[in-house]
């Protein structure tokens, strides 16, 4: 049975710095792992099992650092056809608070749909590469 890329993309979209997602190779499902909890339930035994079998039964999905969200923003900005909007977006990602300013600026410039489509496309590519690297069959 193949995993749907949309399931991986959904997990990647919801990812934050203090949580991780793992793929259970045996049960073929994605689990949220966070602070001794698995899928929102305090389950120290399963949590321990996941941490001990992470390279055999459980495979960690890409984390935030592997996703390189900043690089995604830069590449998206390069794809914007308007010189003026591109300049405004590049200025928005300089310094502290770049992610928040970028999202606000994307909205102000009415580029939210374009950014969302671009980001989903990037996440799908990350998900495909992860599946291929781990020899996991996937479907669109």
Count of domains for the chain: 2
CA distance 136 to 139: 10
Domain boundary (44, 64, 84) is at 64
Question: What pLDDT was estimated at residue 47?
Answer: 86
Is 140 inside any structural domain? no
- Statement to judge: residues 80 and 58 lie in one domain: no
* pLDDT category of residue 35 using cuts at 50, 70 and 90: confident
Q: What is the pLDDT of residues 50-99, one digit of tens each?
A: 888 777 789 999 988 888 899 999 999 999 999 999 999 999 999 999 99
Q: Which domain holds residue 93?
A: 68-125
Q: Mention every residue, 6+ apart, whose C-beta is less than 8 A from residue 90.
A: 77
Q: What's the distance, Cα to Cα, between the start and end of the chain in Å? A: 13
Q: Does residue 132 form part of some domain?
A: no
Residues 90 and 58 in one domain: no
pTM: 0.87
């Amino acid at each position: 049975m193949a995993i749907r890329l949309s399931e991986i993309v959904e997990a990647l979209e919801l990812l934050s710095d203090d949580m991780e997602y793992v793929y259970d190779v045996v049960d073929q499902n994605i689990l949220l792992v966070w602070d001794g909890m698995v899928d929102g339930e305090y389950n120290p035994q399963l949590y321990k099992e996941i941490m001990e079998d992470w390279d055999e039964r459980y495979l960690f999905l890409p984390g935030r650092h592997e996703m390189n969200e900043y690089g995604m923003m830069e590449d998206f900005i390069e794809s914007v056809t308007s010189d003026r909007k591109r300049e405004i977006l590049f200025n928005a990602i300089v310094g502290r608070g770049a992610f928040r300013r970028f999202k606000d600026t994307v909205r102000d410039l009415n580029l939210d749909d374009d950014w969302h489509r671009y980001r989903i496309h990037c996440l799908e590519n990350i998900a495909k590469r992860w599946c291929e690297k781990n020899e996991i069959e996937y479907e669109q």
